[in-house]
Amino acid sequence: MRLSVPAALAALVLGLPVLFVPYLVAEPAAAARAAVFLELSPSTVPAGDEVGLRASCDDNLKAATVTSGLFGTVTVAPRFGFLTATARVPSSTRPGDYRIDLRCPDGATAPATLHVVAKVQPARGPATGAGGTAAGRTAPVLIGSGLAVIAAAIGLGVVSLRRRRFG
């Protein structure tokens, strides 16, 4: 069966929307899933520190809950268009990755992972600047030597002035 040019164009125009129907139906569902999220700031913390929770549900005007085995359940409340809260990781938490879940009022959920690392205290601060004043240095010897040089210069100046007068 051979179609004329106008009939072929009509079939093409009528057939194109059929190709895009699955895309148009699936896209809003993907966009809705993207609107539900949970962010942790920072995502890596030492045990005993606080972590910021920033979440979004379909309706950010209602509070939602964030649940974790680390800090139990925390309510994230609306603030500046998002749902926010802070939670403290217990200092007894062992290093590792922990799952945190957001549950929206409409039942939507979103997961996130918190990386807990061991809290390490440095033995001492870095050796930077003012080396002469750092502990264990020879600062007293350097200061004493400098004062002796200044005193010698003053003494030589006095002696040279006296020689000019008498000479």
Per-residue pLDDT at 129 exceeds 80: no
Q: Can you tell me the mean pLDDT for 104-118?
A: 89
Half-sphere exposure of 2 (CA within 13 A, CB side): 1
The residue that leads in pLDDT, 87 or 14, is 87
pLDDT at 32: 46
Q: List domains and CATH numbers for the chain.
A: 35-117 (2.60.40.1930)
Give the range among 17-26, 50-59, 75-84, 94-103 with minimum mean pLDDT.
17-26
Q: Which residues are registered as beta bridge partners of 159?
A: none
Per-residue pLDDT at 123 exceeds 80? no
- Does residue 17 have a cis bond before it (omega within 30 degrees)? no
Percent of the chain with pLDDT over 70: 68
